[in-house]
Structure 1
Amino acid sequence: MPNRLHLVFGGELVDPSRTEFRDISKIHIVGLFPDYASAHAAWKAEAQRTVDDAHVRYFIAHLHRLRDEEQPASASPRAMDG
């Protein structure tokens, strides 16, 4: 079964109605998780811990969706320079 990596991260937003972080250098990386269920549990714990701060939000990024396993890996930049 292929890995389905998920990243849980969060931090303070400029405006609670948007997803722009106030300071990217202060993003809290909760961790990488091998499946959605464990990522969701970590996300929920952080969201509940920060529930009183409307400007703090946590997210789950589906890292496995960033690559298409059916496509070959792209060529390295050196190979493309020819």
Structure 2
Amino acid sequence: LHLVFGGELIDPARNEFKNVDEIDIVVMFPNYESAHKAWKAKSQATVDDAHTRYFIAHLHRLRDEENEASAEGKAQKP
């Protein structure tokens, strides 16, 4: 499960959005290949704006973390 999203960054050298209320949520995809195609199209459409950047979030990795104890979770256990 992959989410494609993007928007205007404060600084092109940092991955911090200027306004999180204006993040462009493109769509979720069942696989990386289709997410990459959408990411590429959005990225190419905004290539002239150095402050706009799109990303692919690997949501399946977050879901998998729920099934395994994270290092942080282990540290909190007595």
**For residue 33 of structure 2, what is the aligned residue in structure 1?**
37
Tell me the secondary structure at the aligned position of residue 15 of structure 1: coil
Separation in 1 of the partners of 2:67 and 2:20? 32
Identity of aligned residues (%): 71
Any runs of at least 4 consecutive aligned residues in structure 1 with deviations exceeding 4 A, and if so which?
none
CA distances 1:48-81 after superposition (whole Å, capped 9, x unpaired): 0000000000000000000227838xxxxxxxxx
Q: CA RMSD in A?
A: 1.7
**For residue 18 of structure 2, what is the aligned residue in structure 1?**
22
Separation in 1 of the partners of 2:43 and 2:6? 9
**For residue 74 of structure 2, what is the aligned residue in structure 1?**
none
Equivalenced residues, count? 68
Q: Which ranges of structure 2 fall in alignment gaps of 5 or more residues?
A: 69-78
**TM-score, structure 1 normalization:** 0.78
Instruction: Decide which structure has greater helix share.
Output: 2
1:13 aligns with 2:9: yes
